[in-house]
Structure 1
């Protein structure tokens, strides 16, 4: 065998060792969420995963688990704090299990448009101080992604609080959401998202409330065909990293992963906002009855006691949030 041929074989072997070492060095990070694979949340998570791998030069690979494979939303936040998973994305109200003041982001009718919501979440000084409590609780908010405004899907028509009386509605475990739905007249049933479709189908609950993208991706309109656009809560979804994971990252990789999360936000915000009418039209074509103009003033009046109840528990923070939200509503129509 010639020296040239031996050198060529050695080069190929060395390249193989180098590639194997690089593959071995790559760290896989788990990203768990509860949305379906066809939902906007999953699309955003997949884009985030590609960006992380690119921006860390392949040192990190994000594996996305959708559809509650690794747990429901409260479980994901719990596992995030413990370091059992590396990322999750969920409603602000779910993080309230660890930072109770975030319940105030679930107060009813404080945000009227997407543009107002984006300004509030990007610029609120109060909210930043709440997010800054995350690392002490075991997680760190990287960016705020989008889910949209929460709306109702029920078996029977729903136009106002009178139609809510005596009906049991599924929601997620959040104190502020429970207060306002009960104030509207509903009975409340807490259950994980994957159980909701069957629960409605079997009559255990009369319906549920969620953003339009979640309603569409989970096909809740099939078993609760009356879709009522109450827009009772603006519900973006902060994406968070486990603090245990964060502390293992180099400063460069911390910066890269934060950049990836923040770059996804405008994409998902536009996707959700632009898709609302399209998804409603698709659901209508499949038999849903969309009530675009329910008696919102009656709903607003029914939940007025919620603000006083919130003040009893959360004190001055309530008026801080209401004041910031009012300023945003005035600045952005």
Structure 2
């Protein structure tokens, strides 16, 4: 009797073990790997919208092998820390202004030289086709991350607590900047005192009078509601400031060639989506800010352009001939695609 019980028990355990193994293998075969995407835009902003498109396309084009989980509003890290996390493999993707990456590739500061391009189309051509910029991007994998595509944010403009009609109004005022030499030099050339701080601290700092304003593209100004605490929006469009989408090099190297191609395709399509969304949304965002009580103005740009001439010379003193390469590429693109 006991022998029969033992046989039954052994047979049952074997069947359970085999069934469990089969279930595990089936689960493992269909399991998706979760990739983390950190950014600092609010959930309602264009970066989040593009991130959702990117995540959807990655899942589609990898046939469910990968799932991108998006963490907006600096939940994981601010922009500089997110880039550090890329290098360490702590996050898989981030998207930030080109100048944010300059801590690791100083020459990228040059993309933030003032008034390089005048239109979105010129900016897109510069980021997609500038021989100089593509050459700099090709060096980034050695730093621990690589550029997949470029998303749109637009042209940087000001929001200030007091009106800003000319550089004279900047004298004695404190302007928040992110850690980028070119932006800092430009602000100081205009007349501001500069204060470096993460974007996640800016709203409260303006509200408390720590700084008198900040500068960002309209999309960011609207998304992060800076116009509520600094209601004077001055559309200088002084720097074209798109957002390279980057991936951890560790993550990239872990992909098969097939999955690398799938992620690149998703990145390109999310870039197309982002560019169209931001370009087509700007006028509506300006109208919404006006309706909310913001004062929006377009100043005479000549005095602002004149005030920043020293920035080019300062850049040449540090980056030498690289400055001329950037200016030459930008000039060729402006000639090819003149502003209408």
TM-score of the two chains, using structure 1 as the length reference:
0.94
Aligned to 2:255: 249
**2:10 equivalent in structure 1:** none
Q: Which one of the candidate residues 111, 120, 123 is aligned to 2:126? A: 120
Unaligned runs of 5+ in 2: 1-18
Q: Which of residues 149, 154, 170 in structure 1 aligns to 2:160?
A: 154
Match of 1:276 among 279, 282, 293: 282
1:177-229 CA-to-partner distances (Å, cap 9, x unmatched) read 00010000001011111111111111111010001011001111010000000
What whole-Å deviation, never above 9, does each CA across 1:268-295 have from its counterpart, x for those lacking one?
A: 1011011111000000000000012x12
1:227-273 Cα distance to aligned partner (Å, 9 max, x none): 00010000010101100111111110011111100111111101101
CA distance in 1, matches of 2:179, 2:280: 29
CA distance in 1, matches of 2:334, 2:28: 54
1:224 paired with 2:206, answer no
| Equivalent of 2:326 in 318, 321, 326 | 321
Residue 273 of structure 2 corresponds to 267
The structural deviation recorded for 1:20 is 2.8
User: Equivalences for 1:70-85 in 2 at 5 Å?
Assistant: 70-85=76-91
In 2, Cα distance between equivalents of 1:108 and 1:273: 20
2:14 aligns with: none
Q: Distance in 1 between matches of 2:236 and 2:90?
A: 36
RMSD, matched Cα: 1.4
The alpha-carbon deviation at position 14 of structure 1 amounts to 9.8
* Among candidates 196, 215, 236, match of residue 242 of structure 2: 236
Question: Aligned pair 1:213/2:233, yes or no?
Answer: no
CA distance in 1 between partners of 2:308 and 2:61 (Å): 46
Instruction: State how far apart, in whole Å, the 1-side matches of 2:63 and 2:117 are.
Output: 40
Flag the 1:84–1:285 CA change in 2: closer, same or farther, 3 A: same
Q: Distance in 2 between matches of 1:166 and 1:176?
A: 20
1:298 is matched with which residue? 303
The aligned length equals 320
Matched, 1:103 2:109: yes
Question: Residue 191 of structure 2 aligns with which residue?
Answer: 185
Q: Find the counterpart in structure 1 of residue 151 from structure 2.
A: 145
- How far residue 16 of structure 1 moved from its aligned partner, in angstroms, is 6.1
